[in-house]
Amino acid sequence: MPETALAGTDELVVLVDDDGRELGTAAKASVHHEKTPLHLGFSCYVFDAEGRVLMTRRALGKRTWPGVWTNSFCGHPAPGEAVMDAVHRRARQELGLSIDGPTCVLPDYRYRAVAADGTVENELCPVFCTTAAGPVRPVPNEVMDHAWVPWAELRTAAALRWAISPWAAEQIPLLEAATYTDRGPNSSVSSAKPSR
């Protein structure tokens, strides 16, 4: 794993163009502002054996969307790090969680969202689904609360839009359209991999 993946405030993100081609890197601490450049990220939805989804509430110390309920976890691949490796790394770093078989369900998802304070998120953000392979042990400076939620409740929260993060509100109906079963998105339906 690249050293920058664990460097905290020195963490680097990968800047990309509209076609997903790498343009360079920038310090994560410097990219989230009113003119956030497009960069590579990812989102992941963790399911349990009963088909419930792990939702997390972002810690109050987070730079973007502090205290907001969102998907299981998000992150940024480090320069030279495969997105799949970054998904496993962030599951451990944020949730102390091992995961089984992440599958990229929405490889080309992209979003731009503006927070109340003017901070912009601007990401090319492949979306993964996976299953938990152990207990959740959230890291307090990343996650202040968590809950296992039935898919129907997520659908309701996404429709309200203000109840969860803007990216989760967009991703949930897209996941449902792409892979829905009676127990929520089925990560085995898609074997698509992000091209980045």
User: What pLDDT does residue 189 have?
Assistant: 37
Residue 46 near residue 99 (C-beta atoms within 8 A): yes
Query: Is a pLDDT exceeding 60 seen at residue 106?
Result: yes
Q: Which residues contact 126 (CB under 8 A, 6 or more apart)?
A: 42, 43, 83, 104, 106, 107, 108, 109, 194, 196
Q: What share of the chain is helix, strand, coil (3-state, %, to 5)?
A: 25, 35, 40
Task: Judge whether 104 counts as a catalytic residue.
Answer: no
Catalytic residue among 44, 74, 104, 125: 74
**Exposure b/e, 76-90, CB count within 10 A at least 16 = b:** bbbbebebbebbbbb
Predicted model pTM: 0.87
Tens digit of each residue's pLDDT (9 = 90 or more) over 4-33: 334 445 789 999 999 999 999 999 888 888
123 as an active site residue: the answer is yes
**Catalytic residue of the set 121, 123, 142, 170:** 123
| Rounded Cα gap, residues 171 and 86, in angstroms | 19
**Distance (Å, whole) CA 164 – CA 116:** 14
Q: Which pLDDT score, from 0 to 100, does residue 92 have?
A: 97
Confidence of residue 180 (pLDDT cuts 50, 70, 90): low
pLDDT for the residue 191: 35
Neighbours of 44 (CB within 10 A): 25
